[in-house]
Structure 1
Amino acid sequence: MANTETSLKEAAQIEGTIGAALVDYTSGMALGLIGGGKELDLNVAAAANTDVVRAKVRAMELLGLKDEIEDILITLGGQYHLIRLLKGRGKDGLFLYLALDKSRANLAMARHQLKSVEAALEV
């Protein structure tokens, strides 16, 4: 089992990663960050993507969907933004956020690797 710092370091090793964060979507606070910088303010991204998660959860409630969100993908011209909601003991209300450079990333592989990071994460 990996702690937050170790898990974020593993996420940062995913090909094309610009930055990664572990976020509490009940508060919008980032519990851990790696990468980002001038290219991407991860604190702002964490707070803003909290709104995305809340909106999707609310939409599912309104639609009466009895399913779980695995991940949310936002595709930009030059980037992928991947939001993976965490499941399991102590992980409710958390998500992993991964920003990828589209020209260097393999989206399918990134999703697979982020799932592995989630499985190893102990909060």
Structure 2
Amino acid sequence: MNIDTALKEAMSIAGAVGVALVDYDSGMSLGTSGGGDWLDLDLAAAGNTEVVRSKLRVMSTLGLNDNIEDILITLHRQYHLIRLLSGVKFRSSLFLYLVLERDHANLALARHQLKRIEVDLQV
């Protein structure tokens, strides 16, 4: 599936407020869906590149020979889920960033659905 279709599928996840496909090398979004006045997805995507870069630096410093699947940031009313894309078909610097309303989301199911989207996504 292409980027637009993947973003639409991510927005169909229960509780989804916004989603972005982000290149953490540049901090730029390759595409976004949802968001709004209180959620500037381009700004959030750029900010979350720092979260990813920081975690990768720590892993490197610790000598961890492993990969990040996802990073979860839990707020009082929201989940912010960062899923790093892996595999040969992706550049190593892409992630999906999904914002969910906690009251309407099933976190386990959302993680499963993002993984499925990752498998089908063609960039």
Q: Which whole-Å CA distance do the structure 1 matches of 2:106 and 2:60 have between them?
A: 32
Q: Which whole-Å CA distance do the structure 2 matches of 1:53 and 1:115 have between them?
A: 18
Q: Which whole-Å CA distance do the structure 1 matches of 2:60 and 2:30 have between them?
A: 26
1:91 is displaced (CA, Å) by 3.3
Q: Deviations for 1:18-40, whole angstroms, at most 9, x for unmatched residues?
A: 00000000000000000001131
Q: Which whole-Å CA distance do the structure 2 matches of 1:64 and 1:39 have between them?
A: 38
**Structure 1 regions of 5+ residues with no counterpart?**
none
Q: Which whole-Å CA distance do the structure 2 matches of 1:39 and 1:113 have between them?
A: 25
**2:27 aligned with 1:28:** yes
Q: How does 1:1-123 map to 2 (within 5 A)?
A: 2-88=1-87, 89-123=89-123
> Could you tell me the TM-score, scaled by structure 2's length?
0.97
1:90 is displaced (CA, Å) by 2.8
Q: Output the amino acid matched with 2:118.
A: E
Q: Which whole-Å CA distance do the structure 2 matches of 1:30 and 1:59 have between them?
A: 24
Q: Which whole-Å CA distance do the structure 2 matches of 1:71 and 1:122 have between them?
A: 19
Q: Which whole-Å CA distance do the structure 2 matches of 1:80 and 1:90 have between them?
A: 25
Q: Output the amino acid matched with 2:68.
A: I
Q: Which whole-Å CA distance do the structure 2 matches of 1:38 and 1:112 have between them?
A: 28
Q: Output the amino acid matched with 1:22.
A: L
1:75 is displaced (CA, Å) by 0.2
Residue 114 of structure 1 aligns to a residue in which SS?
Answer: helix
Q: Which whole-Å CA distance do the structure 1 matches of 2:69 and 2:30 have between them?
A: 20
Q: Displaced runs of 4+ in structure 1, greater than 6 A? A: none
**Structure 2 regions of 5+ residues with no counterpart?**
none
1:78 is displaced (CA, Å) by 0.3
The root-mean-square deviation of aligned C-alpha atoms, in Å, is 0.6
Residue identity (%): 62
Q: Which whole-Å CA distance do the structure 2 matches of 1:78 and 1:102 have between them?
A: 5
